[in-house]
A and B are shown apart, each in its own frame.
Chain A
Amino acid sequence: MPYISNTDRDRREILDRIGAKDFDELIASIPAKLRMNKPLALDKPLSEMEITNKIKAKTCQNICAGSANSFLGAGVYDHFIPAAVDTIVSRPEFFTAYTPYQAEVSQGTLQFIYEFQTMICELTGMEIANASMYDGASALAEAILMAVRKNKLTKAILPATLHPDFVKVIKIYTEGIGVELLTAPAKNGRLDLAALEAMMDESIGSVVVQSPNFYGNLEDAKALDAMVHSQPKCLLIACVDPISLAVLSSPAEYHADIVVGEGQALGNSMYMGGPLFGFFATKIDLARQMPGRIVGGTLDAEGKRAYALTLQAREQHIRREKATSNICSNQSLCTLAAVVYMSLMGREGMKEVAIQSAQKAHYAATELSKLNGFSMAYPDAPFFKEFVLYTPQPAAKIISAMLPCNIYPGVDMAAYGMPNALMIAVTEKKTKADIDSLVIAMKEVCHV
């Protein structure tokens, strides 16, 4: 039997030692009528060889974005991952370890989380970060809940330019607490600042800005700063792409109070969208309102440097229903990938990834919008590595037509009210030739 060490003889010895005549005696407390009277209806067990073949057959029925010429993004991005990342993450010392509650035998995990928190603060300009949340969406939802805990104001403004699936997750996380979500409209693919200004009053507890936003466009975050902070209690919550922060303003530069984002792009494979991880950073005076695990530096009994989980009095295992969140995990292994990734990249590598992604995205935008019938949806908006392109035909048709040539031209925007539009993401992994072949394929498919 796989993964069970006890032989039949061991089993007999265990029962004898316990003093039970058979296994059923051990579960006598389960009333007989509650027990199953037949085996589970599952497939017959497979050996390691057989399961390997079965899984290979399944993988053959997928055509992965990684091997296609893919321009899919919308929150999950195909950035380059150095081989050393997986070498570290694959070590059982990390992946079969438990949550680092016993600090003395968990210094490895605790220290990499401490380093991760430091790197997140360095990118965002914040003063404290937690050990991560489930994904960018739940991190953003928890940020709104944290703002409510801080200022007791239950209205939050979300921009119409926020990722629609983030909005869904925010809604489910905030409705039970009684948060009223208001939407600030968009104008030309960016937040309508005049409309937001008109919505601002002393009852607003937090304003969310996502930059780059769902459409890939950069918001005028600096203008938002003054507008949001004109209400002294209102908190500005920024949701950002961590790769972009190597060249673009850190949220601290526009005085964000809480900064969150989806971290997958930092060294984690896409895996059809999970696991992801959300990063969560804020100012030190908000530390006690934060959700999630936090690692802190301290000393051991001999006065040596050591690390431990800290501020645990906020958490569910201590505070139960009064906890700042119900979260009981962090995406630890994903943050290990991120910390190794950021170490390998270093300050210059991260910048180069950001610049090359932006350059290639801008090249793609320029070349594609030269084609007849194609145009940028938001020509006046600055963007980072992703943009929305109007197409002469429904995007669904273009996507299907390109499947045989193994090109994934982007996300169909029909579900977001734009049937003739594709959202196109370009990372540093795309070559000029990849982009040129997309342009040629567009021409052929749309007969332009």
Chain B
Amino acid sequence: MSKTIFEYSTPGRMGVTLPTREIDTPIEAMFGAEQLRAKPIRLPEVSELDVMRHYIMLSHKNHFIEKGLYPLGSCTMKYNPKVHESLVRHTCFANLHPYQHEDTLQGALELLYELQQDLAEISGMAQVTLQPVAGAQGEFAGIKIIAAYHKAKGNTHKNKIIIPDSAHGTNPATCHLVGFEVVELASNPDGRCDLATLRGLVDENTAGFMLTNPNTLGLFENQIEEIAEIMHSVDALIYMDGANLNALMGIVQPGKIGFDVMHFNLHKTFSTPHGGGGPGCGPVGVVEKLIPYLPVPMIAKNDCGYYLDYSHEATSIGKVHTYYGNFAIQVRAYIYIKMLGAKGLRRVSENAILNANYIMKLLKPYYHIQHEEYCMHEFVMDGTKQKKEQGISTLDIAKRLLDKGYHAPTIYFPLIIPEAMMVEPTETESIDSMNAFAEAMIEIAKECNENPDMLHDAPLCTPVRRVDDVRAVKVLDPIFQIQD
């Protein structure tokens, strides 16, 4: 068991040196007694070495990309180039203040302007805002834009958004936050939107439709033209959840095939680091008619240079972030796009698709796959065979995979596939690493037959054994009890 940083604390120890005071105004001269804190803050008192050892020891307990493959469907855990990290840390990026005079920010603003342009080209959208700081916040901004569009046209009765049952949980959660009612659309036997059902759901109150394309089954929604026709006939707008844009670069431009609004997940498509859960960045692209509703400010250019443009504030949805979004993430995506160019980005998507199909082919004899057609950048297999024959759940299989040095696939999602395992190798994996991963999955399929108990007990070789997350809820322990 590893101690918390608080348990290393020794009174009087310190991990930092600060300058001696040049000005020594007593605290009492600056603040009234009623403003002062009664109880001291019990932060740990530790040396720099204590801190380094502790957090490096913790780092050893993580799985991370450089350690091994992450077959996480929909999450796209590709390799993050190290040049991004070294360049973004330049002092003239890291130490910029958001309220500096625009004349002192020209390099940064130029970079952002170019990134807006490049994302617009990649998506086929007319304009892009970089402000949302995560995919879910991008969804929020995008659905707000849809609401603003209808409001401006006086269509306040439009209160419904249709979402397929295979969608990410953020889609319905976002619509609720914006104030829309969510209507769920069932998938057809091909794993795509059921058009007949969709026609029955659409009416004058329909404000929009949210679609992930390729969808979360890894299949391209090939009826998008018909969907667009149905939606646009009642002036409803189509939102594309861009989580899977990494399969489409240089192949399809969403803005040119019927989508009106979309978000990008910069970490999934443009290889910014996942960061153990964030920070992310979720730019939003829109077609021409929705430009007036984009958040303020946009990054614009005139004869004097680049500037923060608030000129459309009267029609804009407003601001979703205090400043201009996650600049440090935007810089990384910029570098990625500039290094790959058109050909490179297309190769990224092609190899993502090739790799997913390759693994699907290797695993097909061992795991049930409901949709056997060629997939895009990911596919969904499931553990129903193992569940039925050996009583082994997808969770058991996922945990056993951890023992073999891999992260688990995305499991129990999409919700429409029982015992789902969603696999996405990404384009950065080589044929050799995919062979090794497939070998591990095949071994597990054999272990299900030969030693099912071991599967129930897995993982056996990880820093801790299977974690009791039910207990984490029942006996809620969200903070360490610091001893005085």
Say if the beta carbon of B77 comes within 8 Å of chain A. yes
Say if the beta carbon of A438 comes within 8 Å of chain B. no
Say if the beta carbon of A177 comes within 8 Å of chain B. yes
| Interface residues in A, total, Cβ within 8 A | 209
Contact status B16-A97, CB under 8 Å = no
Expressed in whole angstroms, the Cα–Cα distance for A36 and B123 within the complex equals: 11
Known: A82-B16, A343-B51. 11 other contacts (CB 8 A): A5-B428, A29-B220, A52-B87, A75-B323, A76-B98, A94-B275, A127-B479, A296-B472, A327-B136, A382-B35, A400-B101
Contacts of B465 in A (CB 8 A): 104, 300-302, 304
Contact status B169-A317, CB under 8 Å = yes
Say if the beta carbon of B280 comes within 8 Å of chain A. yes
Say if the beta carbon of A418 comes within 8 Å of chain B. no
Contacts of A70 in B (CB 8 A): 97, 100
Contact status B468-A300, CB under 8 Å = yes
Contacts of A3 in B (CB 8 A): 78-79, 81, 271, 340, 348, 427-428
Say if the beta carbon of A246 comes within 8 Å of chain B. yes
Residue of B nearest to A168 (CB): B319
Say if the beta carbon of A411 comes within 8 Å of chain B. yes
Contact status B87-A331, CB under 8 Å = no
Which of B15, B25, B374 touches A344 (beta carbons < 8 Å)?
B15
Contact status B107-A96, CB under 8 Å = no
* B344-372 to A contact mask, C-beta < 8 Å, 1/0: 11111011011101100110000000000
* A383-417 to B contact mask, C-beta < 8 Å, 1/0: 00000000000000001100100001001000000
Contact status B43-A27, CB under 8 Å = no
A42-B121, A272-B105 known; A59+B175 contact, CB < 8 A: no
Offer 5 A-B interface pairs, CB within 8 angstroms, sorted by A: A23-B350, A57-B107, A138-B321, A317-B413, A344-B16
Which of B230-238, B247-255, B283-291, B416-424 lines the interface with chain A?
B247-255
Which of A43, A100, A359 touches B277 (beta carbons < 8 Å)?
A100
Say if the beta carbon of B451 comes within 8 Å of chain A. no
Contacts of A329 in B (CB 8 A): 134-136, 277-280
Which of B93, B373, B476 touches A29 (beta carbons < 8 Å)?
B373
Contacts of B45 in A (CB 8 A): 346-348
Contacts of B13 in A (CB 8 A): 346
Contacts of A260 in B (CB 8 A): none
B125 to chain A, nearest CB (A): 13
Contacts of A115 in B (CB 8 A): 4-6, 480
Contact status B93-A271, CB under 8 Å = yes
9 tightest A-B contacts by CB?
A: A66-B95, A273-B323, A61-B107, A45-B341, A273-B98, A176-B179, A5-B430, A93-B59, A344-B15
Which of B67, B277, B428 touches A293 (beta carbons < 8 Å)?
B277
A271-B94, A276-B322 known; A84+B52 contact, CB < 8 A: yes
Contacts of B480 in A (CB 8 A): 114-115, 118, 297
Expressed in whole angstroms, the Cα–Cα distance for A1 and B349 within the complex equals: 13
Contact status B335-A55, CB under 8 Å = yes
Say if the beta carbon of A199 comes within 8 Å of chain B. no
Expressed in whole angstroms, the Cα–Cα distance for A195 and B22 within the complex equals: 41
Which of A17, A82, A96, A270 touches B15 (beta carbons < 8 Å)?
A82
Which of A7-15, A200-208, A230-238, A369-377 lines the interface with chain B?
A7-15
Contacts of A295 in B (CB 8 A): 478
Expressed in whole angstroms, the Cα–Cα distance for A93 and B105 within the complex equals: 33
Q: Is the interface of B mostly helix, strand, loop or mixed?
A: loop
Expressed in whole angstroms, the Cα–Cα distance for A250 and B341 within the complex equals: 51
Expressed in whole angstroms, the Cα–Cα distance for A40 and B255 within the complex equals: 13
Contacts of A11 in B (CB 8 A): 351, 354
Residue of A nearest to B271 (CB): A3
* A354-366 to B contact mask, C-beta < 8 Å, 1/0: 0110111011000
In the complex, which residues 1-50 of chain B have their Cβ closer than 8 Å to any Cβ of chain A?
A: 1-2, 4-6, 9, 13-16, 18-19, 21-25, 27, 29-32, 34-46, 48
A216 to chain B, nearest CB (A): 12
Say if the beta carbon of B207 comes within 8 Å of chain A. no
Contacts of B136 in A (CB 8 A): 316, 326-329
Expressed in whole angstroms, the Cα–Cα distance for A270 and B468 within the complex equals: 39
Say if the beta carbon of B276 comes within 8 Å of chain A. yes
In the complex, which residues 55-95 of chain A have their Cβ closer than 8 Å to any Cβ of chain B?
A: 55-68, 70, 72, 74-76, 78, 80, 82, 84, 86-88, 90-95
Contacts of B38 in A (CB 8 A): 249, 253
In the complex, which residues 1-35 of chain A have their Cβ closer than 8 Å to any Cβ of chain B?
A: 1-6, 10-11, 13-15, 17-20, 23, 25-31, 34-35
Contact status A111-B2, CB under 8 Å = yes
Contacts of A36 in B (CB 8 A): 250-253, 256
Contact status B97-A102, CB under 8 Å = no
From A19, A26, A80, A87, name the one whose CB has the most chain B CB atoms within 10 angstroms: A26
A46-B338, A74-B99, A275-B329 known; A14+B58 contact, CB < 8 A: no
Contact status A99-B274, CB under 8 Å = yes
Contacts of B31 in A (CB 8 A): 218, 247-248, 358, 382
Residue of B nearest to A127 (CB): B479
Contact status A135-B18, CB under 8 Å = no
Contacts of B322 in A (CB 8 A): 75, 135-137, 163, 165-166, 169, 262, 273, 276
In the complex, which residues 423-468 of chain B have their Cβ closer than 8 Å to any Cβ of chain A?
A: 427-431, 433, 457, 459, 462-468
Contacts of B479 in A (CB 8 A): 114, 117-118, 121, 127-129
Say if the beta carbon of B473 comes within 8 Å of chain A. yes
Say if the beta carbon of A103 comes within 8 Å of chain B. yes
A366 to chain B, nearest CB (A): 9
* B47-79 to A contact mask, C-beta < 8 Å, 1/0: 010011011101111111111001010010111
Expressed in whole angstroms, the Cα–Cα distance for A63 and B136 within the complex equals: 33
In the complex, which residues 266-319 of chain A have their Cβ closer than 8 Å to any Cβ of chain B?
A: 269-277, 284, 287, 293-302, 304-313, 315-319
Which of A151-159, A180-188, A333-341, A439-447 lines the interface with chain B?
A333-341
Say if the beta carbon of A330 comes within 8 Å of chain B. yes
Contact status B43-A345, CB under 8 Å = yes
Contact status A332-B277, CB under 8 Å = yes
Say if the beta carbon of B376 comes within 8 Å of chain A. yes
Which of B139-147, B196-204, B385-393 lines the interface with chain A?
B139-147
Expressed in whole angstroms, the Cα–Cα distance for A306 and B477 within the complex equals: 11
Contact status B482-A118, CB under 8 Å = yes
Contacts of B156 in A (CB 8 A): none
Say if the beta carbon of B212 comes within 8 Å of chain A. no
Say if the beta carbon of A198 comes within 8 Å of chain B. no
Say if the beta carbon of A161 comes within 8 Å of chain B. no
Contacts of B39 in A (CB 8 A): 125, 250, 253
Say if the beta carbon of B106 comes within 8 Å of chain A. yes
Say if the beta carbon of A323 comes within 8 Å of chain B. yes
Contact status B476-A310, CB under 8 Å = yes
Contact status B319-A165, CB under 8 Å = yes
Say if the beta carbon of B314 comes within 8 Å of chain A. no
Contact status B52-A88, CB under 8 Å = yes
Say if the beta carbon of B326 comes within 8 Å of chain A. yes
Contacts of A379 in B (CB 8 A): none
Expressed in whole angstroms, the Cα–Cα distance for A163 and B23 within the complex equals: 29
B14 to chain A, nearest CB (A): 5
Expressed in whole angstroms, the Cα–Cα distance for A301 and B471 within the complex equals: 11
Contact status B277-A272, CB under 8 Å = no
Contacts of B79 in A (CB 8 A): 3
Say if the beta carbon of B402 comes within 8 Å of chain A. yes
